[in-house]
């Protein structure tokens, strides 16, 4: 009966094959292939549009929290949009925040974090992410 094990130099006794270490270029090619396969699928699932719902038309985007004596937090809202134009993607992300805030009965969204990053699918698109807190009247 033959024992199956892998030695320190990665030689399999059973298969009698040696796995040589990959060169730097091969590792880079593998890394790119794996990251584009995983992230490309993610980028394909992100929306590029967010239509503003009628009930969200009165929700305002603000940079500072409103007066705590009048308004209370309704919850966190976040948006991720992918697009080629940062300005348009930002507007669509704001629409998504406003829609989520309206669903929580809020009238304001205080934006706390804004980020923009290149999509990993080499498409030239950008992923815009917004995180904020929705506020409603007490």
CATH value at residue 81: 3.30.110.70
| pTM (predicted TM-score) | 0.66
CA–CA gap between residue 113 and residue 66 (Å, rounded): 16
Q: Is 11 among the domain residues?
A: no
pLDDT digits (tens, 9 = 90+) for 81-115: 998 888 889 999 999 999 999 999 999 999 999 99
- Assess if residue 94 is contained within a domain: yes
Q: Is residue 12 part of a domain?
A: no
**pLDDT of res. 107:** 95
Per-residue pLDDT at 37: 43
Give 57's pLDDT tier (boundaries 50, 70, 90): very high
Is 14 inside any structural domain? no
Number of folded domains that form the chain: 1
Between these two residues, 59 and 16, which has the higher pLDDT value?
59
Backbone angles phi, psi at 29, to 5 degrees: -65, -40
Within a domain: residue 34?
Answer: no
At residue 7, does pLDDT exceed 80? no
From residue 74, alpha-carbon distances to 49, 110, 129, 134 in Å are: 24, 11, 20, 5
Q: Which domain holds residue 55?
A: 43-137
Q: How large is the average pLDDT for residues 10-26?
A: 45
């Amino acid at each position: 009966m033959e024992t199956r094990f892998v030695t320190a130099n990665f030689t399999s006794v059973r298969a009698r094959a040696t796995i040589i270490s990959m060169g730097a270029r091969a590792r880079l090619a593998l890394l790119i292939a794996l990251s584009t396969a995983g992230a490309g699928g993610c980028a394909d699932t992100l929306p590029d549009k967010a239509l503003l719902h009628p009930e969200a038309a009165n929700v305002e985007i603000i940079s500072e929290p409103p007066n705590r004596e009048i308004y209370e937090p309704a919850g966190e809202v976040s948006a991720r949009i992918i697009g080629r134009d940062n300005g348009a993607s930002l507007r669509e992300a704001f629409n998504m925040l406003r829609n989520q805030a309206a669903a929580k009965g809020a009238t304001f969204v205080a934006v706390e974090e804004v980020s923009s990053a290149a999509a990993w699918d080499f498409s030239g698109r950008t992923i815009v992410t917004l995180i904020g807190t929705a506020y409603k009247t007490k």
